Amino acid sequence: MGRSVTRNEPRIISETGMDARVAAIVEPVIEDLGFRLVRVKCSARNGFTVQIMAERPDGSMNVEGCETISRNVSPALDADDPVERAYNLEVSSPGIDRPLVRPSDFDRWSGHEAKIELGRLVDGRKRWRGILLGARDATIGLKVADPAPGAADTVWLPMDDLAEARLVLTDDLIKASLRAAKLAQRELGLDDAETDGEPSETDGGPEAARS
């Protein structure tokens, strides 16, 4: 059974280092705007880029939402200056092969393939791949794609041990993402002309704002 999705549902996978400092500044701003932070990632791309992935509580996002977040987090970042160097700010949707960072993400995308990395060994391994079975009792269920000889093909991995998790791009995932996007557009009263095309399989969706 899927869990209730709320705007302030805490993330179970979060950042470290500079990414964490940026996230601590921008997450309250993003939540006040009615969105949810998915991930912050700082990289040397294009000089230096601070990428913020965000979404509405229903998982949707559009260009206007990205622009709203960009306008509002920029002053907060300027005031606290966590990066201490010139950078490009990029706000985007999570994309199709998105990171999974909240328990509800694993419920929403149950039945789809994911890659999961743990912070410690569980059953002799840190890296797992398989079909999501949802979240239950502080664990994530996975039907394992490559179980070890004699091992069970289903595992329940502790949420506290998750280091990274993301969906694997498949035809079924693309179709499901497009259906979800169209449903969200209808609920928001948008039509196809107000969107930015099909979601992308790249790191972040097509809906992006840069400054």
Q: Report DSSP letters for 155-205, one per residue.
A: EEEEGGGEEEEEEPP-HHHHHHHHHHHHHHHHHTT--GGGS-SS--SSSS-
Question: Which of 143, 140, 84 lies closest to 111 in space, CA to CA?
Answer: 143
| Same domain, residue pair 114 and 79 | no
Amino acid found at 190: L
- CATH number of the domain bearing residue 142: 2.30.30.180
| Same domain, residue pair 120 and 152 | yes
Residue 36 bridge partners (DSSP): 55
Q: In what order do the strands lie in the sheet containing 125-136?
A: 154-158, 139-144, 125-136, 113-122, 162-167
| Same domain, residue pair 78 and 36 | yes
Does some domain include residue 1?
Answer: no
| Same domain, residue pair 75 and 25 | yes
Does some domain include residue 122?
Answer: yes
CA distances for 19 relative to 91, 93, 108, 129, angstroms: 14, 17, 26, 26
| Same domain, residue pair 66 and 107 | no
Does some domain include residue 4?
Answer: no
| Same domain, residue pair 74 and 113 | no
Question: Which of 154, 194, 181, 173 lies closest to 61 in space, CA to CA?
Answer: 181
Judge whether 211 and 70 are in contact, CB under 8 Å. yes
| Same domain, residue pair 40 and 110 | no
Does some domain include residue 9?
Answer: no
DSSP notation for 96-139: SS-B--SHHHHHHTTTSEEEEEEEEEETTEEEEEEEEEEEETTE
Whole-number pLDDT of residue 206: 52
Does some domain include residue 182?
Answer: no
- CB under 8 Å to 191, separation ≥6 — which residues? 185
- Is 38 strand, coil or helix? strand
**CA end-to-end span of the chain, whole Å?**
41
- CATH number of the domain bearing residue 53: 3.30.300.70
| Same domain, residue pair 85 and 109 | no
| Same domain, residue pair 92 and 115 | no
pTM for the whole structure: 0.86
- What are phi and psi for residue 198, nearest 5 degrees? -75, 150
Does some domain include residue 192?
Answer: no
Domain count, the chain: 2
Alpha carbons 76 and 22: distance in angstroms, whole number: 10
Domain with 86 in it: 17-96+201-210
Alpha carbons 70 and 66: distance in angstroms, whole number: 6
- Provide the residue-wise pLDDT of the chain in tens; the chain has 211 residues: 455 556 689 999 999 999 999 999 999 999 999 999 999 999 999 999 999 999 999 999 999 999 999 999 999 999 999 998 999 999 999 999 999 999 999 999 999 999 999 999 999 999 999 999 999 999 999 999 999 999 999 999 999 999 999 999 999 999 999 998 888 778 767 655 444 434 444 456 656 666 6
| Same domain, residue pair 107 and 142 | yes
Whole-number pLDDT of residue 208: 66
| Same domain, residue pair 112 and 71 | no
Does some domain include residue 140?
Answer: yes
Does some domain include residue 107?
Answer: yes
| Same domain, residue pair 21 and 86 | yes
Alpha carbons 18 and 22: distance in angstroms, whole number: 6
